[in-house]
Structure 1
């Protein structure tokens, strides 16, 4: 079912020079719990609305950047609204929809502010699916979820000077790691913090880019093909594609991942085609849980991520929730995990490039990226990481079975 858009001319005395053409999305909402949208002609619906001023009053208060993106403008408009500065909030919301006309949540906030300011009913007859209240309520819930995730995202102070737990090591040869926080609908690009005289990987890692993102419509923990879930664990980027070579579904570009990896095969997981990609051209973004299993960003955010030119082999860590910890906590795990990857290394040579550690299904797991840096098409790349499982206090390597070519098996023991 495709949603219908309604076009309406709305004139405000504050904008004396011209009327403003706005797109009203399928769920016009009111700002306050007792203020709902009225259908001017026809059946009036009892819609539950997003109470911007009450439900999200504890939104994080991080200041907008010098050149704010869509989410920053949304958050700033909401911040002004909470302060009672409705005119300022309306002006920011207008800027938001002019810059990003396909941002449905921004259009919704702008329309709500217009309705609140004018206190006049708007003809939403052609925008509402009067005969299908279930569809309307489903879309309402999706927008409510997106608003909550964007407005209550963790502030920079939460992760300042900290790293995602389990991102144990990132060699200076590996410039980036992608970490996904499913609970908060956030994607973080981690890079090396610079410091003069720092040894090894420097003083630690820092967030150099972050964005809102969506995961599977049935959440996380992918088990089988078509289950609508996003996998959890450690993966690597395989290929990068610009948007012009892909169908519109993938938006402004994509990074393909090595799902299923050896651990997934060991557990009998099926499916494929898990990517990090942009959004279709008729959408700015998707609801927090709405994809077929991929990690989906808005097109502007995907374009920004692709500008970092992540090389093949870049670690991608997909977690239920990120625990931000001091760098020392990760460093304490470094030497024991490095020892696992040195079995096949040249004696005396440390060729470890990245170490990741996490727990799943009651087991400790690790991914080790090692090997010499190589150049492919002008970009560095590395081999697929080796995967390890701790069983009975012993680390065991996981490898694809040569006999089946599909299932994985445990090989060897590292004491």
Structure 2
């Protein structure tokens, strides 16, 4: 009898522990995020509903943080106006939200120089398998903390305008 009671107690403990696991996929029911603004020099990312700031985050950039991305491998983060165009729940980073770089102008500039424009620019969390190496460690992406990318992932929808400023 005591074994049975112990077994039920252990099973109940596991069930409660399983219920407390937090998902990285949050839900958001607040005001719509109508745009994202990234101020590279200030290292601040803003989620806006029209003119109202809903959330603001600090971030890290590519290993060459100043200037507009022009070529694959230059370590720069793009500047200009793009769209949030995809999301990756199975990213090698905690979560990621894609930016529509390169646009036609970016492609033309790179081709004129005999180079490739690069791509795969995201707002993402921390690496899943290793630790970020200091500040400005990405290859051109915008990196935030894991709990912050969870909020961004929930709040920002595909098709949202993103403006990246120097």
TM-score normalised according to structure 2 size:
0.70
Displacement of 1:263: 2.0
Equivalent residue, structure 1, for 2:102: 260
Query: Does 1:213 find its partner at 2:59?
Result: yes
Q: Distance in 2 between matches of 1:311 and 1:177?
A: 10
Q: Is the 8 A contact 2:33 2:47 kept in 1?
A: no
Query: Does 1:185 find its partner at 2:46?
Result: no
Q: Is the 8 A contact 1:214 1:286 kept in 2?
A: no
Equivalent residue, structure 2, for 1:236: 83
Larger radius of gyration: 1
TM-score normalised according to structure 1 size:
0.29
CA separation of 1:230 and 1:317: change in aligned 2, threshold 3 A = same
Q: Is the 8 A contact 2:64 2:74 kept in 1?
A: yes
Displacement of 1:289: 2.1
Match of 1:291 among 133, 138, 162: 138
Q: Distance in 2 between matches of 1:232 and 1:306?
A: 21
- Deviation readout 1:374-402 (Å, 9 max, x if unpaired): xxxxxxxxxxxxxxxxxxxxxxxxxxxxx
Q: Aligned Cα RMSD in Å?
A: 1.9
Q: Secondary structure at the match of 2:107?
A: helix
Instruction: Within 5 Å, give how 1:347-362 maps onto structure 2.
Output: none
Match of 1:311 among 152, 157, 160: 157
Displacement of 1:286: 6.1
Equivalent residue, structure 1, for 2:21: none
Equivalent residue, structure 1, for 2:34: 176
In structure 2, stretches of 5+ residues that fail to align are 1-31, 111-115
Larger RCO (CA under 8 A, 6+ residues apart): 2
